[in-house]
Chains A and B, each alone.
Chain A
């Protein structure tokens, strides 16, 4: 396929620092040095997808800039993506542009929420997508660091998302630089997230979760899997969760990343992931009298309090989403709390046929 590039072309001094300065001055960088989006690099990126250069992935909120494959490729080059990772960037865009992900709301909210990308599939290792020690930050795999960054740059440069301007985020979060990690499928006693969402094992799949941050959980004092899961569930149901704010608890998922040592312990008593989710859901509630009177009144009027005075975090067990990843040091889990008004979305990659 031949590609005629149409995005705006400028000349810049051929040293990295000048490009970096230009990106800062132009407001199209993310504060960290970028790679030069030369035609050669863009064309290499475009060769990794069967989609036409001018194919429109969608209009990205908040400004509804049109994301053509070419513009996405420019941003992916800047982020440092390998061409082989470009289909993952495109899949991540497809996922967040699904209306139920609510990019319209999430790109403009005061919340820190941002797309957190969870990757399944056979390309995970080749692309250096981190799924073991330090997978949510620090491991430094090229795929992890650049796929999420490419998506963040697309939101900035095509969608026009700018903190304090079009985005009303109060704090933001480190993941707004880009967050992408894999599931340690080989160590998971349960079907992978992608399998549970209807994809085949040979497919590379990106799942976008509207996550508010990384919420750490730790324990060294408990040997009983039921008791430990009880404590995890209670921790997920922290009283100032977005899921207790104004809504009914019908929307949004909480991702629970479990380390492989703990997942083995949990699978011994919950061999089916659905039974694990059911148990977590059954304990992810707080007593209404935990909240002060004003909050109690609102939770009651929103129909959130059951006959036993329990306020469940979410309406259904499937809204608590366990995945397996992280190092073998055990002791820890990470929750990725939900924005609430967003539903997790997945998309499979589409790659170019080998030439």
Chain B
């Protein structure tokens, strides 16, 4: 019988820094009279259509919208986009940011939604179901675990416009509810 000797090794992993988590904010008021931010990005046509539909509903409810479309993640365009999102965050009362329907676009949707929370504004990130866990993970990783997430069906791309409009109508009340908009 032989004895099994052992060696000591160091593990290569680390835990992410623990954070309490930044606060999330709610509207706690009716929508009328508010300035609602809507952030789309160049890539996702489905989300642009849904956001356009929601903008009409917001206007009908007596609020105004301030819309912004992002183009890039890096470079001059990326810098300009992040600066514009910051300026936009200051001007709106609350905001809706989308769309998370790929990996990096979900990450950047979360990032831009967090810009609103950094301005102490209620914020909602909109993602498709395939990317829900990713969105919640990314929000946690960047210190905003309480970021509100609205989950739309997946995939949205390649659906006919009529279906997208039905989805827009179905999920609009949920978006307002998550944001704490009062009837």
Instruction: List residues of A (39-54) whose CB comes within 8 Å of B's CBs.
Output: 39, 42
A168-B103, A251-B77 as given contacts; A65 in contact with B4, CB under 8 Å: no
B72 cross-chain contacts in A, Cβ below 8 A:
247-248, 250-251, 341
Task: Please encode chain A, from 110 to 137, with 1 for each CB lying within 8 Å of some chain B CB and 0 for all others.
Answer: 1100000000000000000000000000
Instruction: Check A168–B138 contact: CB distance below 8 A.
Output: no
Q: Inside 8 A of B183's CB, which chain A residues have their CB? A: none
Contact B12 A14 (CB under 8 A): no
Q: A105-B73, A111-B103, A166-B134 in contact; A341/B78 too (CB < 8 A)? A: yes
B-chain residues with CB within 8 Å of residue A263 when the two chains form the complex: none
Q: How far is the CB of A124 from chain B (nearest CB, A)?
A: 27
Chain B residues closer than 8 Å to A157, beta-carbon distance: 12-14
- Which residues of A are found within 8 Å of B106, using beta-carbon distances? 108, 168
Q: How far is the CA of A62 from the CA of B135 in the complex (A)?
A: 11
Name the contact of A64 in the complex, choosing from B5, B17, B73, B78 (C-beta under 8 A): B17
| Contact in complex: A108, B142 (CB < 8 Å) | no
B15 contact set on A, CB distance < 8 A = 65
Contact between chains at A108 and B11 (CB < 8 Å):
no
Which of A4-12, A198-206, A211-219, A221-229 forms part of the interface with chain B?
A4-12
Q: Across the interface, name the chain A residue whose C-beta is closest to B44.
A: A246
A141 to B12, CA, bound (A): 24
The answer to whether A168 touches B9, judged by C-beta atoms less than 8 angstroms apart, is: no
Contact of B73 among A11, A63, A102 (CB under 8 A): A102
A261 at interface, CB cutoff 8 A: no
Q: How far is the CA of A246 from the CA of B142 in the complex (A)?
A: 26
B74 within 8 A of A: yes
B162 in the interface, Cβ–Cβ < 8 Å?
no
Do B4 and A28 have beta carbons less than 8 Å apart?
Answer: no
Give Cα A104 to B141, complex, Å.
11
Given contacts A62-B138, A246-B42, A7 and B102 within 8 Å (CB-CB):
no
Assembled-state Cα–Cα distance A5/B12 (Å): 12
Binds B, one of A70-78, A273-281, A305-313: A70-78
**Tally of chain A residues near chain B (CB < 8 A):** 59
Instruction: Name the residue of chain A whose CB is nearest to the CB of B43.
Output: A246
Q: Chain A nearest CB: distance from B110 CB in Å?
A: 10
A9-B75 in contact (CB<8A): no
B8–A11 touching, CB < 8 Å: yes
Contact A13 B74 (CB under 8 A): no
Contact call B102/A109, Cβ cutoff below 8 A: yes
* Nearest opposing residue in chain B for A168, CB measure: B103
Tell me whether A74 and B11 are in contact in the complex, defined as CB-CB below 8 angstroms, given that A65-B16, A111-B103 are known contacts: yes
| Cβ contacts under 8 Å, B5 to chain A | 13-14
Binding site for B on A (CB under 8 A): 5, 7-15, 19, 26, 28, 36-39, 42, 59, 61-66, 71, 74-75, 78, 99-102, 104-106, 108-111, 153, 157-158, 160, 166-169, 245-248, 250-251, 298, 302, 341-343
What would 11 A/B residue contacts be, using CB atoms closer than 8 Å? A8-B11, A12-B6, A12-B9, A37-B12, A42-B10, A66-B14, A102-B73, A104-B73, A105-B74, A169-B103, A247-B43
Which 7 pairs show the lowest CB-CB distances between chains A and B?
A: A168-B103, A246-B43, A105-B104, A341-B73, A109-B103, A109-B104, A157-B12
